[in-house]
Amino acid sequence: MSEKRFIAGEQAGTYLAPGPVTEADILHMAHKLARRRLAKGRVLDAPSKTFEALRTLLQECEHEIFAVVLLDNQHRILRFEQLFRGTIDAASVYPREVVKLALACNAAAAIFVHNHPSGNPEPSRADVAITQRLRDALSLVDIRTLDHVVVGLEGCVSLAERGQI
């Protein structure tokens, strides 16, 4: 896709397509904009915008993806990283690798995210259990776990909003 197909509109956050665009072009631009919302240095000040970006990136995947958003003390993004790829209903998550990346980025906090290819974002018992294991592992090195977001076609579920963190 050519980046020249979309032109910035007069109002911030609007774009014009001077000619025909395909569904693939639109999806490509949506992914690019979602990645930009999770770019280094951005402040996560609105959970709804964060959920929207995560949903755009992960809801259509046919396999489970486990990712982490690492933040500094002011909740500025240090890094968004897709760490593990699984099958249609599971992904192996290794706390050691999460801690290693968080320390390498000098993170103060983390938000975990993974998708459910089934479309239903309801967290499983395994999701809650791995969140607790990761939270415990990160807390040993003074890194806070802020949330674990489960993404599906039907929306996003925040374990923090449910009091499960």
Per-residue pLDDT of the chain (165 residues; tens, 9 = 90+): 445 577 778 888 787 888 888 877 777 777 777 677 777 778 877 777 788 888 888 877 889 999 999 999 999 999 999 999 988 788 899 999 999 999 999 999 999 999 999 989 999 999 999 999 999 999 999 999 999 999 998 889 999 999 998
C-alpha pair distances (Å), 44 with each of 16, 21, 76, 151 = 27, 31, 6, 17
* Res 4: pLDDT: 54
C-alpha pair distances (Å), 162 with each of 54, 64, 79, 128, 148 = 18, 22, 25, 11, 10
Query: Given CA atoms 142, 143, 146, 151 in this order, what sign does their dihedral have?
Result: negative
d(CA 118, CA 120): 6
* Res 27: pLDDT: 76
* Res 76: pLDDT: 93
- Detail the DSSP E strand segments found in the chain: 7-8, 15-16, 65-71, 77-85, 109-115, 144-152, 155-158
* Res 2: pLDDT: 47
